[in-house]
Chain A
Amino acid sequence: MSQGPAAVPLRHASDGDSPLTLLRQGISDILSRRRLVRYLVQADMKKRGSDTILGNVWWILDPLLQMTVYVIFVSVIARRPAPDYPLFIFAAILPWKWYSAVINDATNAVVNKDKLIRQIAFPKLVLPVSTATAGVVGFAWGMIPLGLLMLFFLDRVDPTMLIWIPLIAVVQYAFTLASAILVSAANVFFRDLGNAIGHGLRLWWFLSPGLYSLQAVREIAVAQDFAIIGTLAGFNPFAVLFEAYRAVIYGGADGVSPPHPPDVVSLLILLTASLVLLAVAVVLFKRVEPEFAKVL
């Protein structure tokens, strides 16, 4: 509807916009609608908080409960989990909750706004971006249970290392944002994607070194003469992220060495790859965006 002071040639009927043009459009979409993104994030927060009796308390309880389930589960099956195992897996549960919640929400981020899309002209990119951004708030809330948990493992914790968490989170945000944009657009055209995504995410979690360390995978892979698997496991973005979070929160995977700075090189590689993926995602999204109103 009202589109600000519309430039004179309002229509962009050409299908041949170059990827660079689309990317530039996408970025300006978001920058010019920052306030809309903020409102959508706030609305999301409000909904989550106000719908349940305990409200925001769930933000704190949920990861702790999830951790308890895994601690019991792994203690029964593996019987010899890493020392201080609750902290070991909590370092992975928090970032994974962020990612999986965002991807689940992003699946329907565009589809749920179908009525609005058919009635108002606005940059649809704000929808997945606000979903991914709302996830950051959830992750920030997760710092409270993390702090509580650390009280139980004071001899292991090194508070100065925790300043790395926001930096690692930036890398994860870039990757999460790119994934959310891709998923939200794909689900418009393939409505059964949501089913597949739930299972895909679960598989991904168990294949990522969350409940176990990457080092353990490598050792087993070498012992079984499948060293290649150990190498491949390292390419998983969440192998990089989990190992990084774990390094600063928990320490060495051997359970002995204290918290230390993460592997900055692999984080930078992941950041670069995520930014490339993000650019690709924005271009693809902008490319199919004009079809949304017809398909929804």
Chain B
Amino acid sequence: MSPDDYAIAVDDLGVRYNLRFTRKSTVRGSFASLLQRRKPERFWALRHVSVRVNQGESLAVIGPNGAGKSTFLQVLAGIMRPTEGTVDVRGQVSGLLGLGVGFDTELSGVENILLGGAFLGLDGPRIRELLPEIIDFADLGQFIDAPLKTYSSGMRARLGFSIATAVDPDILLLDEVLATGDASFRAKSKARVIELVRSAKAVVLVTHDMDWVREYCNRAMLIEKGKVVMQGSPDEVTKLHLARTREAIARRKEELKAKGLDLAIRPKKRRDRIKPPAAPPAQPGAAT
């Protein structure tokens, strides 16, 4: 494959959050920090990430929570702009980045499909063409004409999934979408995702399901704290990830133990509570 035949090229990508404007920033708070000449707090969600996804490849992005995996997908989807580096995405992108959203809870299922399609940038005739298929796949029965606010969270997820997967994109981005709805819908959606993965020119997915990674991806990338730890074959990368996860758990246990909160002690404590309080655990070291 020639080096120019890529679908996604990410070069030295960095995304920086400015914590000065956080969720609860207010005029008052901004003045206060201005007066105190506080340095704007900055935080790199991703730094020095370079990766290339060729046509026909399926890349898995794995890593612990808060590693920057979702930020990476948001950048690829064009939701977030890189602070540094360049991102070149060739082709029509479609992403399933979180599915719990309805577009408008006051509107009915059908109206949400139309509105959702408009948000996704599909033109009118195309949405009307896809409409029956989406309704059929969501399989919500009478509820399709009821306002979204009457839906359960599982039903919303089903509708969201059906809308988001209705179009066949060139480049598919998936973020933890493999566990949606009840068992039967989960099986159905998994089949749909596999179908999309097969037909898309390139796939980037974020998941904690290592079996999925090994089975359906031909490349994997491990991110921790915004930095790429390893890129390579799914087998090697998942192996490293699992090893590091075990390490992290062990480290965490040590830390807790140092604070006297050893996880392993917990069941014993419970047994202690059943005992009459007359015998307090006088020798903490003796338990281990």
Known contacts A11-B82, A39-B115, A43-B106; A1/B25 CB under 8 A: no
Q: Any chain B CB within 8 A of the CB of A202?
A: no
Contact-residue bracket for chain B: 35 or more
Known contacts A290-B80, A295-B22; A1/B106 CB under 8 A: no
Minimal Cβ-Cβ distance residue in A for B169: A2
Q: Tell me the bound Cα distance from A193 to B123 in angstroms.
A: 36
Binds A, one of B94-102, B137-145, B224-232, B280-288: B94-102
Known contacts A1-B164, A43-B104, A118-B74; A190/B122 CB under 8 A: no
Q: Tell me the bound Cα distance from A295 to B164 in angstroms.
A: 24
Minimal Cβ-Cβ distance residue in B for A121: B78
B91 contacts which chain A residues (CB < 8 A)?
A: 6
Which residues of chain B (121-146) have a CB below 8 Å from chain A?
121-124
Q: Any chain B CB within 8 A of the CB of A116?
A: yes
B74 contacts which chain A residues (CB < 8 A)?
A: 118, 293
Q: Any chain B CB within 8 A of the CB of A73?
A: no
B93 touches A1 (CB 8 A): yes
Which residues of chain B (29-66) have a CB below 8 Å from chain A?
30
Q: Any chain A CB within 8 A of the CB of B107?
A: yes
A189 touches B86 (CB 8 A): no
User: Contacting B115 at CB < 8 Å: which of A2, A9, A40?
Assistant: A40
A291 touches B97 (CB 8 A): no
B27 touches A115 (CB 8 A): no
Known contacts A116-B103, A119-B101, A295-B21; A39/B169 CB under 8 A: no
A33 touches B28 (CB 8 A): no
A-B contact count (CB 8 A): 134
A121 touches B24 (CB 8 A): no
Q: Any chain A CB within 8 A of the CB of B235?
A: no
Interface centre among B28, B86, B89, B121 (most CB of A within 10 A): B121
B115 contacts which chain A residues (CB < 8 A)?
A: 36, 39-40, 43
B81 touches A12 (CB 8 A): yes
As a 0/1 sequence over residues 140 to 167 of chain A, the CB contacts with chain B under 8 angstroms (1 = contact) are 0000000000000000000000000000
B27 touches A11 (CB 8 A): no
A189 contacts which chain B residues (CB < 8 A)?
A: 21, 25, 30
B123 contacts which chain A residues (CB < 8 A)?
A: 35
Which positions in B face A, CB cutoff 8 Å? 17-18, 21-28, 30, 74, 77-82, 85-95, 97-98, 100-101, 103-104, 106-107, 111, 114-115, 118-124, 164, 167, 169, 173
Give the 7 A-B CB pairs with smallest separation, nearest first: A121-B78, A290-B81, A36-B118, A192-B26, A2-B94, A190-B27, A119-B97
Which positions in A face B, CB cutoff 8 Å? 1-6, 8-13, 33, 35-36, 39-40, 43, 46-47, 50-51, 115-122, 189-193, 196, 290-291, 293-296
Listed by A's residue number, 21 A-B pairs whose Cβ atoms lie within 8 Å are A9-B88, A10-B89, A10-B93, A36-B115, A39-B118, A40-B115, A46-B106, A51-B106, A118-B79, A119-B79, A120-B119, A121-B78, A189-B25, A190-B26, A191-B25, A192-B26, A290-B81, A293-B79, A294-B80, A295-B21, A295-B22
